[in-house]
Amino acid sequence: MTNADAAWSDLEAHAARLRATTLRALFAADPGRADALSFALDDLTLDFSREKLDAPALGALVALARASGVEASRDAMATGEAVNLTEGRPALHMALRGSCAPLVEGVAEVGGTLDRFLAFADAVRSGAFAGAEGAFADVVNIGIGGSDLGPVMAARALAPDCDGPRAHFVSNVDGAHLTDVLGPLDPARTLVVVASKTFTTQETMTNARTARDWLAASVGERAGAHMAAVSTNLPACAAFGIEAERVFGFWDWVGGRYSLWSAIGLPVAIAAGSKAFRDLLAGAASMDAHFLSAPLARNLPVLLALVGVWRRNAMGWPTVALIPYDQRLERFAAYVQQLDMESNGKRARRDGGPVARATAPVIWGEPGTNAQHSFFQLVHQGTDVIPVDFILAAEPRVAPGWDAMADALADHHAKLAANCLAQASALAFGRTLAEAEAAMAGAPAAEVARLAPHRVFPGDRPSTLILHRRLDAFALGRLIALYEHKVFAQGAIWDVNSFDQWGVELGKQLAGGMLDALKAGAAEGADPATAATVARIAALRG
C-alpha cells in the first residue's frame, strides 16, 4: 500500500465518522470552529467552518496532499518542467506575473511583451493610436474559451476602472453574437482585437473575417489599422493581414484558460488602463508567493483544493455552486467552469491508466442575490446536496461619480452581505420540523400540520465563505490565482494532467464533416441519427 493509498483510506474513515454527525452538532461541540477552520492571507479569509469536516479530517486531507506529491508537482511547475506531459510543455502562467522565471524559451521576453502591449493599450486609451475618425470609442475582442472568458470576466469585475474605450466581447460562431454586438457600434471608431492562441479556431476566425469585412465596408483600406491580434501563431496573424506592430505574442507554455495574464488581457488593459492591469498581475503574484511558500496546512489554494476533494471523493457530491455576492463577478462562475472542468474533467491518469476516483465536479453558478430567486430552492430543499463557494467583499467598491450616494450604496451592500450570511447559515443549520411548527405558532393546528413539513430545511448543507475587503484589481488577480492553484493541486491529487484538453477534439473534428453535410443537405456515410437530422433541417429550410 502506497502512502497515498493509506491517506485515502484514512480519509474514508473520517468521512464515515462525519457522515454520522451534523453541522449543528459540530458547532455545538466546538463553537470555536469558526476560527479554527478559517485561514487567511492578508485581508482574504477562507472560512471552512460550514463544511462537513473538522480539524482531524482536515489533517487527513493535508496528509493526502503530501502523500500525493502536491509540493513536488508545484515545484516542478514553477521550475519549468514539462508538467503538461501529453503536449510536452511546461505550464508557466506564473511567469507572466513575475512569480518564477525558469530558463525556458520566451520567459525572458515576458516583461518586454507586457510593456509593449500595455503601451499599446494606453495609446489606444489616450487617442495617440486612433482610428479613421479619431480616438477609438469601442474595442471588440473576438475570441473564445480562454481567449474570451478571462477578459470578459475581468472587464466586468473591474467596471469602476473601465474609463477607456468600452470593451465588448464576441465569442460564439452564431452570427447573432457578432451582429448584435457590432450593430450599435460605429466601425470608424471601433478597434477589433482578434484573440486566439492558435489563430485557427473555427469560431474566432469566422467572426474575425466577418468583422474585417464590416470594418472594410465602412473605412475601406483603413480597416487594417482597426485590427490588432493576440496569438502564439505570428505567421497566421500576418497571413490574416494584421500588421506586426499590432500583433502581440505569447508562448505555448501559456494554456488558453491560464492566458488572461498575457496579451490576451489586452482588452482589459484598453478598458481599464495599464495600472489596473499591473495591479491584477500583482494580486495574482501575491497568491503565487503564498502558494509557493506556505506550508500545506496553511496554504489557501491547497486547502481549497482539499475541501473540494473532501466534497467530491469523501462525501460523493458531484457539483459545486459558485455564488459570488458581487454583481461585478457575474462571469466568475463561467470563468472557473472552464478553468476547472477543462483542466480536471479527465478520466485518464498522467500515465494513461484509468483514474481511481471521481475527478472534477460540475461547476456552475450565478451571483447572489439573484441566485436566491432562481435555483436556491433546490439548493436548500432539493434531494441533492450541493456545496457552495460564497464570495463576499466586506465593503463595496463605489464607482466613480457615485460618492454622493455612498450612504445609500453602503445600505445596498449591507443587504447584499446579510443575504450571503443568511444563505450560508440556512444551508448549514436548516430548520427542523419542531422549529417550523414553532414559527407558525398561533395558526390553526390543521394548518400547521399541513404546511410545516414544507417549511423544513434539512440543513447540514456545506459551504465555504471566501471573504475579502474589496473587489479591486489586486483582489481580483489574487482570487483568480487562488482558483488556478486550487485546480492545479486537485489535478496533482487526482493524478491527471490539468493542462491538456483532448476532450474538445472529437467534436471539433466531426464538425467539419457535419458542415459539409449541412451545406449539401445530405449526410452520406454519417451515423443514422445525424443523417436523419440533416434531412430534417434540409426539409425545414425548404
Contacts to ligand F6P by CB under 6 A: 144-147, 196-198, 201, 204, 256-257, 342, 501, 504
Burial class of 115 by CB neighbour count within 10 A (0 to 12, 13 to 18, 19+) = exposed
CB 348: neighbour CB atoms within 10 A? 16
- Is residue 281 within 8 A of residue 465, CB to CB? The reply is no
Residue 266, CA distances (Å) to 141, 221, 259, 324 in order: 9, 24, 11, 25
Q: Does residue 436 sit in helix, strand or coil?
A: helix
Annotate 282-298 with DSSP letters as a single string: HHHHHHHHHHHHS-GGG
Judged by DSSP in three states, 394 sits in coil
Residue 145 or 165: the one with the smaller Cβ distance to ligand F6P is 145
Nearer to ligand F6P, 21 or 206 (CB): 206
Distance CA 382, CA 492 (A): 32
Of 164 and 249, which has the nearer Cβ to ligand F6P? 249
Residue closer to ligand F6P by CB (options 10, 342) is 342
What is the DSSP code (8-state) at residue 361? P
Of 275, 373, 412, 415, which one is the catalytic site residue? Answer: 373
Shortest distance (Å) from residue 370 CB to ligand F6P: 27
Long-range contacts formed by 110-119: CB under 8 A, 24+ apart: 113/248, 113/249, 113/250, 113/262, 113/263, 114/281, 116/248, 117/230, 117/248, 117/263, 117/266, 117/269, 118/269, 118/274, 118/277, 118/278, 119/274
Contact indicator for 222, 228 with CB cutoff of 8 Å = no
Of 203, 342, 366, 437, which residue is the catalytic one? 342
Contacts for 372-377 with beta carbons within 8 Å, 24 or more apart?
A: 372/419, 372/423, 375/321, 376/423
Residue from 261, 305, 260 nearest 145 by CA: 260
Name the E strands within 384-533. 388-393, 463-468
Taking the complex as a whole, how short is the minimal distance between the CB of residue 260 and ligand F6P, in angstroms?
Answer: 11
Q: Closest separation between CB of residue 318 and ligand F6P, Å? A: 23
Q: How far is the CB of 497 from ligand F6P (least distance, A)?
A: 13
Tell me whether residue 57 or residue 144 sits nearer to ligand F6P (CB atom): 144
Q: Mapping DSSP to helix (H, G, I), strand (E, B) and coil, where does residue 80 land?
A: coil
Please state the closest distance from residue 412 (CB atom) to ligand F6P, in A.
35
Identify whether 342 is a catalytic site residue: yes
CB of residue 254 to ligand F6P, shortest distance in Å: 10
For ligand F6P, the closer CB: 198 or 530: 198
What is the closest distance, in whole angstroms, from the C-beta atom of residue 204 to ligand F6P in the complex? Answer: 5
Q: Is the peptide bond before 198 cis (omega within 30 degrees of 0)?
A: no
Of the residues 275, 412, 415, 508, only one is catalytic, namely 508
Q: Is residue 508 flagged as an active site residue?
A: yes
Count of Cβ atoms closer than 10 Å to residue 528 Cβ: 8
Active site residue 415: no
Query: How deeply is 540 buried, as exposed, middle or buried, from its count of CB atoms within 10 A (0-12, 13-18, 19+)?
Result: exposed
Pick 259 or 490: Cβ nearer ligand F6P:
259
Q: Of the two residues 421 and 504, which places its CB atom closer to ligand F6P in the complex?
A: 504
C-alpha triplet 194, 199, 204: angle, nearest 5°: 55
Report the catalytic residues. 342, 373, 508
